[in-house]
Amino acid sequence: MPETPAQRRDRRPTRSELRHEAIGRLVAPLLAAPGPDGGTALVVDLGGGAGALSVDLAVDGHDVVVVDPSPDALAALARRAREAGVGERVRGYQGDARALPELCGGRGVDVLLCHDVLELVDDPAAMLAELAAAMRPGATLSLLTAQRSGAVALRAAAGRVEEALAALSDPDGRTGADDPLQRRMDADSIAALLDGAGFDVVEVTGVPVLADLVPEVVLDSSPRARESLRRLELASADHPDLRGLASHLHWHAVRR
């Protein structure tokens, strides 16, 4: 019996699911190495909120410290960790990057995740400097940032041309007065900030690159569209000519 449109919609990956899967694929290799003395690495998820990624990492066997300013998000994190059976592997602390030195007790962070935070803070350069100060030399940074060109492409494809024009012309890449983000930056600007804070960039990947641009009607038209979309994302994630279309960029960087 053929699938109904409702069944096809249920099978369709949401943008958040595709994004979560892509980030998981990118972060997993960064956690493969042990700590500097061969022991367990100290993993910190800055702005990890309710633990969409952190709990998955704990399920995979990692000990994760989540730092977030929202007590409600941290309460949700604790519930999610308990339900997943990894409550002892996930610790939540209310605060921001300034809390890292005290939180780590003098030990340098081995892997630091900073996703969707840089576009919300008042001073990105200062925050990256605080991250670098909390990390040991050679430690790994996983940074996820909103990209201006991706916002322009997405809004133009959706017919929101005025917002696309605003994001393209605004110094901070904002789409208007109601934009929840303080900024969206270009790849060159992020690279310069990382270099200034003492990080060497290893790899830059789009997350997602094309998935947000595919109309939903196309995904509803074929039972195989979901898997095809995933394959498309895998093939285009690190394509240099397509990366500018990505709504976000994932930066794998190393502390000098």
pLDDT at 32: 78
Confidence bin at 35 (pLDDT 50/70/90): low
pLDDT at 12: 43
pLDDT at 9: 42
Q: What is the dihedral of CA 238, 243, 246, 250, to 10 degrees?
A: 50
Q: How many CB atoms lie within 10 A of CB 146?
A: 19
At 91-125, the pLDDT tens digits run 999 999 988 888 877 788 999 999 999 999 999 99
Task: Supply angle C-alpha 250, 64, 116, rounded to 5.
Answer: 30
Residue found under tokens 């709504």? 247
pLDDT at 63: 87
- Show me where the domains of the chain are located: 5-31+40-119+135-255
Confidence bin at 5 (pLDDT 50/70/90): very low
**Which H or E element spans position 236?**
helix 225-236
Q: Higher confidence at residue 150 or residue 39?
A: 150
Q: What is the 3 state secondary structure string of 113-171?
A: EEECCCCCCCCHHHHHHHHHHHEEEEEEEEEEEEEHHHHHHHHHHCCCHHHHHHHHHCC
Q: What average pLDDT does the structure give for the chain?
A: 89
Asked whether residue 133 carries a pLDDT value surpassing 90, the answer given is: yes
Mean of the pLDDT values across residues 51-64?
89
What top-level class would CATH report for the domain 5-31+40-119+135-255?
A: alpha beta
